[in-house]
Structure 1
């Protein structure tokens, strides 16, 4: 803009970014983060007539927050304030409703872009987490080669991430063009070369979505769009972030295609079928729906609207994410129990870093000095290059002596943070009391006196423990203890894997959990000792009686345990645990593991089956002894504990003694039934349809009616002399009259010593052979 007016930057047109201020007399270009801080300090925006929110389609959280605050200002303080939301591909109608403003179209200089759909020749697997099918990347590289042959000018190829850029670059080896890789971590020299334009040689620029709208690449006439993008996802329960590969939205596809027509007519090759266009999402996911909302919640609390219910937002914040954010802010003393901002929290909003890092900066500076705290916070705030490694302490040393672009940015940010902490010293409200200046309670003492980390002059770091302390103060729930090898357990309860660190304790500054992965990955961490862990995460430290069922021992164990979150520090056995807690542990184990924990004798199982039959057949007052019913009422019938309970006696106690019905148990559901032969045969009540009587066929001769219990006919399994079933019937009379003849014909030759009369209904029952019967 300054160039268009023929002026130097800082006259009519100026800019302000974090740590750098060049005011202009008429126009000032600022980041949304800078504008947020200015609004918190000066809600009326004195001297400002209009605010333009550019690239509002990107739906970054800060931008949505700024828009909501500006609408609030216009409605209450500055009705004259003009607001403009600008974008080439945004949800114009949605923004128009939000701003109560007309949609104005401005047709700038643009050139036609021809759309060429180039789907893969074979189906590819859809993206999942960070996974992208190699077949798709092979196809994208082939389309780039095709575009290079068919079109003139440079080629800009959009890919979801750094890994995919590297793999496609490898597949383009030998092409007659310079291959450049552009992403957030690309060296400044590469980015400058891309923006400067090429010479005689053609260029292929492989880029992430950073090139969609934030920059124009000179010389580009062709765009190759992979159709993929990366979006953040936050596991609020674990406090860990991950990136998900998703299909790019239609709005993003239009933005990407537009890069080919900035300077002349161009062509876009879309690596998907035209029919898929309608299935793409209209717009990218708004960051408020998927991101960590801790900083947003602090901004809204400082604005006076802790739950953001009074703010005009295109999308409301998810309740679960806001609850997790409120919990984190309360733990660091930024808001009180009602969610109102404390004085400490208000100071944090002015520091230009995430509230967690602001807490680490304020509390850590009092221990290791402002400069050291600022340097480590700056290192965590902008994750260093992978070449720095995953050891935070080693990365700190590398940044201090480094001469690369990252180290330059890091030094600038560290100086800014040092100034911020000196201007806003710790107020003594501590780390994690949750009771700031507005809460009406005496604040806790901050963790200033750890014996292994001493305050020093600002020119000399405390020692190698300083980075660990700062990381622990920022992310106390990520303090982790080594379990085996390189596997750690965080205080949050999440397991994490380290690639190179093996200290017993780590303070994890950067970690993620890939979608679908059971464990987190440690990206940046520093060793700490147990004392530092206890100090930094004092709010997570607790000692409690742990009384639980031990499946391996088959008994309740009782210990007094000191834990740092989920990490067990020490434990000792309790000699006389509270009997009520022991019983509660047994009941909980029973409901969790099931009735199989009890010692079931054959008599106990048989009694339960008889009672279950009576409950099905007769209903009340016979008790329900199903698993669900027994577990629900276990507190009433479980006797002296799981190991010592006599289950048959416990079930007997459930009988309907009060009304006298219990005395009829053997009458209504006898254990055994006397059959015509005189034998007393056990009845099997395990079948849910009806009880079963398994008896030798000859012992039932002469019986015309099927025996019944509680009015329910038994299912009679008639057995051969060898005890094998030969017939099943619930109607003996019908069997004697019909089915018996076939059984007799088949078996009398096989068992000639046993009687097989032609008229079984009139024959004498027996459990003996014919010879014994004749002797009898």
Structure 2
């Protein structure tokens, strides 16, 4: 057993702001600790070795991205003067540099999550340092909750959460009243300028080309003797601006996750003596996860890539949006960590003021299928009982659990099956893992399945969405990312049960089958000859890019879809980003669980039309007309009502009145009186209208239904016996007659029941009648002898004592044959004329 390595903190922390807090950090490192320090202060470099000197076992350091994991491990090892894989090592998917001597191991949150499932006690680990927790990735949030539970069982485990923001209290509370150590880092003087472009930064396809030209122009004009750091949202944007800058003669280097480790290291290593100033063009990698030394100029596009979920289309993906103010401040601060700096924001100052304060946590909008399986494997199905900074949205979690049940990965309670437990530990997403195992069996070739899964589960893309072409390109050893893809494919093939034997290579057909196995509901069929639009089995429509070779395929298996508008989406609202061709036979074989045969009935021209349909999900395979049968009518009528609304029924005066009475009772008394607004009635069609629909003949009309009789089925018993007492149809008035009560419409929340009656019939009525047990006053429309409105009041006493005299002066000359007494209080209420009152 090698001797325990002790880090020279003076050497490691030389020149780092955070090293000044060494005593406070060592004193607080007991159980749980939250460290807040701005980007560039050195917390990633200094805190893990400090913690390693305090504990006997291994220290795990999480970084949100693979490039940051490698960079952190290399930087600490370099400052320690030791080889990578010695006292300091790292683990990312498909790559591992550790040994028995490793004291600090950097890794991604995803790797640590799966390690926790395999070893919940984390044997041999005495501390976990979670870096960049302010980014609120789904994996980091889950780790915080799980490690809080581990600490309850292992009081010797030190958990350190590090954040670039000062909102540390919720994290400290979740970890059990952790000590918070704030490491301030006053910036050197920082000049902030605004250089917006005339025109939009974004359009339906993402960042506009004119804006990327603007980024390159401003950067080229602003660069000086110091290194510059340019922030853009995506790898594609980064590569384009690098190209534009190189055309201008600048030494521009890209920095994003698609680059090889060597190219990433080149961008973040710092400028050597005698080298010209560099321009590092980066995604959000360099915002807080990585420090690029020597930067004194920051150019910020003010844009970010964030997870967004489109529930209507069942799509989740990264979209380009305006960055948050917190991100903008962190980016600008990168220019003033080592000396006076300058930040140029390529948007207006008013745009900065309109930015959201901070980006939303990923758990609020992510596809939760992977997370739901991890939670089930941890013993907290659906997240129930696990302390999380933000609970998962119930709807998204329910959808995720439904997917897992369809894949036979969890049981009815959300707990993993035997297959689910195996897949939870695999280093790819749930759908890809299922496709890997099923594809290896389906193709009898694990290598072929592994090559497809390695391509779709990593950040490989093809401009024409053509997965077979992408695979052909990755087989070229010179292609970007080819070596990483090959290593991952070999590892996945081993996991799927293949040895390192002969490599057949994934054919175009194999690619389609594996992708379809990952998401059968995204098997798609072209909507028409020559069309770019495809209908997915899920019901979503999406379009292939113009010119894609896949347009020759009637059937395709879709892996990636994104929301889009305009020409790119061909009017579908979505564009396909990666897919593979399928034959119809393959589509029907893989999608067999989605095959249905059913009768569909609809109302057309007032008649019931029936078709026999065979479908793959939403894709109609065959449709033939059939004669309507009695059982078809009810289904067709219900569908018609849901599409056209309740206006398709004949709302007689009696039916409308009953609905108004019930609505008033529900509004003021609640249950058991039912809601009768449109949505409520449509939701409960089976309860009140289904018996009438079931009796209808194919040639019958909805207009023949007794709607009032149907509504009475909703009356609650025994309370229904009081309906005439609480909301009567008519109101007795002092003249001895009764007047109809007009109830407000079901959607009129402020309306009052109205009684229209001749003024003379309510002489002497002082108190306004009230309905619903005294809760609701009647609104009187007092009419002239010609039944024209004279006054509207819900306060008869006030009317008799005031406005009545004005009405009397105006009306007694116009209607002299009718009584207009000076004192309405003592006059007899009547519907008769003066002459009839006198007996003439």
Per the normalisation by structure 1, the TM-score is: 0.70
Kept after mapping to 1: 8 A contact 2:188/2:338: no
Distance in 1 between residues matched to 2:385 and 2:482, nearest whole Å: 42
Give CA deviations for 1:478-532 in whole Å, capped at 9, x if unaligned: 0001112121100110001012222111111222123897432111111112332
User: 5+ unaligned residues in a row in structure 2: which ranges?
Assistant: 1-75, 661-675, 711-728, 730-737, 739-753, 757-782, 789-810, 816-840
Corresponding residue of 1:569? 621
Distance in 2 between residues matched to 1:55 and 1:648, nearest whole Å: 67
- Answering whether residue 646 of structure 2 is matched by residue 592 of structure 1, we say no
CA spacing shift, 1:49–1:191, aligned 2, 3 Å: closer
- Answering whether residue 538 of structure 2 is matched by residue 492 of structure 1, we say yes
- Answering whether residue 581 of structure 2 is matched by residue 506 of structure 1, we say no
CA spacing shift, 1:458–1:534, aligned 2, 3 Å: farther
Return the offset for 1:565.
Answer: 1.1
Q: Give 1:529's match in structure 2, choosing from 562, 580, 583.
A: 583
Give CA deviations for 1:118-157 in whole Å, capped at 9, x if unaligned: 25387x6686776557786676556435533xx5412212
Return the offset for 1:327.
Answer: 1.1
CA spacing shift, 1:111–1:207, aligned 2, 3 Å: same
Kept after mapping to 2: 8 A contact 1:393/1:526: yes
Secondary structure of 1:202's counterpart equals coil
CA spacing shift, 1:588–1:16, aligned 2, 3 Å: closer
Corresponding residue of 2:457? 381
Matches within 5 A, 1:546-625: 546-549=600-603, 551=604, 553-575=605-627, 577=629, 579-590=630-641, 592-593=643-644
Question: Could you say what the CA RMSD is over the residues aligned between the two structures, in angstroms?
Answer: 4.4
Give CA deviations for 1:753-774 in whole Å, capped at 9, x if unaligned: xxxxxxxxxxxxxxxxxxxxxx
Select the structure of larger CA radius of gyration: 1
Distance in 2 between residues matched to 1:18 and 1:545, nearest whole Å: 49
Kept after mapping to 2: 8 A contact 1:250/1:281: yes
Distance in 1 between residues matched to 2:449 and 2:537, nearest whole Å: 23
Kept after mapping to 2: 8 A contact 1:180/1:194: yes
Secondary structure of 1:104's counterpart equals strand
Give CA deviations for 1:209-268 in whole Å, capped at 9, x if unaligned: 122123333432111222221211122443312433333233322331232234443222
Return the offset for 1:379.
Answer: 1.0
Kept after mapping to 2: 8 A contact 1:128/1:244: no
Secondary structure of 2:228's counterpart equals strand
Distance in 2 between residues matched to 1:477 and 1:165, nearest whole Å: 34
Q: Give 2:145's match in structure 1, choosing from 56, 61, 68.
A: 68
Distance in 2 between residues matched to 1:377 and 1:184, nearest whole Å: 18
Kept after mapping to 1: 8 A contact 2:461/2:470: no
Distance in 1 between residues matched to 2:699 and 2:627, nearest whole Å: 19
CA spacing shift, 1:68–1:130, aligned 2, 3 Å: farther
CA spacing shift, 1:612–1:597, aligned 2, 3 Å: closer
CA spacing shift, 1:635–1:713, aligned 2, 3 Å: farther
- Answering whether residue 130 of structure 2 is matched by residue 53 of structure 1, we say yes
Corresponding residue of 1:409? 484
Corresponding residue of 1:519? 573
- Answering whether residue 94 of structure 2 is matched by residue 42 of structure 1, we say no
Corresponding residue of 2:10? none
CA spacing shift, 1:362–1:187, aligned 2, 3 Å: closer
Distance in 2 between residues matched to 1:459 and 1:160, nearest whole Å: 37
User: 5+ unaligned residues in a row in structure 1: which ranges?
Assistant: 426-456, 617-625, 655-660, 662-667, 669-687, 691-709, 716-730, 736-776
Give CA deviations for 1:179-229 in whole Å, capped at 9, x if unaligned: 444333356675454335455433333322122123333432111222221
Matches within 5 A, 1:290-439: 290-368=365-443, 369-386=445-462, 389-422=464-497
Kept after mapping to 2: 8 A contact 1:165/1:181: yes
Kept after mapping to 2: 8 A contact 1:113/1:257: no
Q: Give 1:483's match in structure 2, choosing from 522, 527, 535.
A: 527
Moved more, 479-488 or 273-282: 273-282
Return the offset for 1:164.
Answer: 4.6
Corresponding residue of 1:216? 291
CA spacing shift, 1:272–1:316, aligned 2, 3 Å: same
Kept after mapping to 2: 8 A contact 1:116/1:267: yes
Distance in 2 between residues matched to 1:42 and 1:273, nearest whole Å: 51
Return the offset for 1:10.
Answer: 2.2
Distance in 2 between residues matched to 1:540 and 1:630, nearest whole Å: 31
Secondary structure of 1:284's counterpart equals coil
CA spacing shift, 1:575–1:66, aligned 2, 3 Å: same
Moved more, 182-191 or 463-472: 182-191
Corresponding residue of 1:723? none
